[in-house]
Amino acid sequence: MVSPEVAAALAGGRPVVALETSIVGQGLPAPHNLRAALGCEEAIRAEGAVAATVAVLDGQLRVGLAKGDLERIAAGSRKVSSRDLGPALALGRAGATTVAATMRAAGMAGIRFLATGGIGGVHRGHPEDQSADLVELGRTAVAVFCAGPKIILDLRLTLERLESLSVPVIGYECDELPAFYTRRSGCPVSARVDGAEEAARVIAAAWQTGSSGIVVAIPPPAELPDAEALVERSLREVMATAGDVTPRLLAKIAELSGGRSLDINVDLVVNNARVGARVARAYAGQARR
């Protein structure tokens, strides 16, 4: 179900940016989760675009949420990736959509732009453990604005996998892939763009020549001091226990950084939404010329 506001924007050729909700349901603790979600929507509106936040609620795949819907996701929801959409819909579960599931929903609705914090990728020490985000990027024509892959991942292998899937990794005003909490990773991007107009032209040309998903990597506004050391320590402590690794790793990093990582996370995801909206607006303007 596409909200009336989003449907009207799409029909009128106005810029629309999709937002995932796993950051609300699982990625960030309260109150940071809703601060991030509402901050992204506000940043998108401020740039003259329409926010299309995605979730599964009441047996429907919703594209465009009210504040009350976000609060329901924050109060209790399952993490829903691409493979989980069918069961979540059929069984009436409240689902917070990942980047992969949000890309799929956006593609079905005709939305070409999505903003998030960081994409999934190949896990450190376990190259067989790869995020569905990568597969969806290889098949769905949506540009994903992010601060690179999450720093807890194997960035080199993630880039290798994206290259195998023919996914462009574009650095927004940077030559090096950001690593979520830091601006530098030591890994080059496949192309650099400077500004929203240039980014929109590159994205349009990539789609015109058969590209599907596109990663637009944006350096975070601020960096987490000693980020790599914090990740290594968190990995040592968390990997010794059972359960879903990613949320526990991020929680451990937040604990070890005294909460600083949470504020940086909120700031970077809002910044990504802002840049995504600027590029979406430039893309819509170029399409009308």
Q: Which residues are known to be catalytic?
A: 20, 150
Helical H segments across the chain, by residue range: 4-11, 22, 32-46, 67-75, 85-90, 99-109, 132-137, 155-164, 196-208, 227-238, 245-256, 260-288
Closest CA to 60 of 98, 24, 88, 20: 88
| Residue 223 to residues 11, 169, 175, Cα–Cα distance (Å) | 39, 21, 17
Q: Measured between alpha carbons, how far is 230 from 289 in angstroms, rounded to an integer?
A: 48
For residue 79, the SS3 value is strand
Q: Measured between alpha carbons, how far is 119 from 180 in angstroms, rounded to an integer?
A: 9
Q: What is the dihedral of CA 144, 145, 151, 152, to 10 degrees?
A: -30
Q: Measured between alpha carbons, how far is 122 from 173 in angstroms, rounded to an integer?
A: 25
Tokens 């005294």 belong to which residue?
258
Distance of CA 283 to the CA centre of its chain: 19
DSSP 225: T
What is the 3-state composition of the chain as percent helix, strand, coil, each rounded to the nearest 5? 50, 20, 35
- The counts of H helices and E strands in the chain are 12, 12
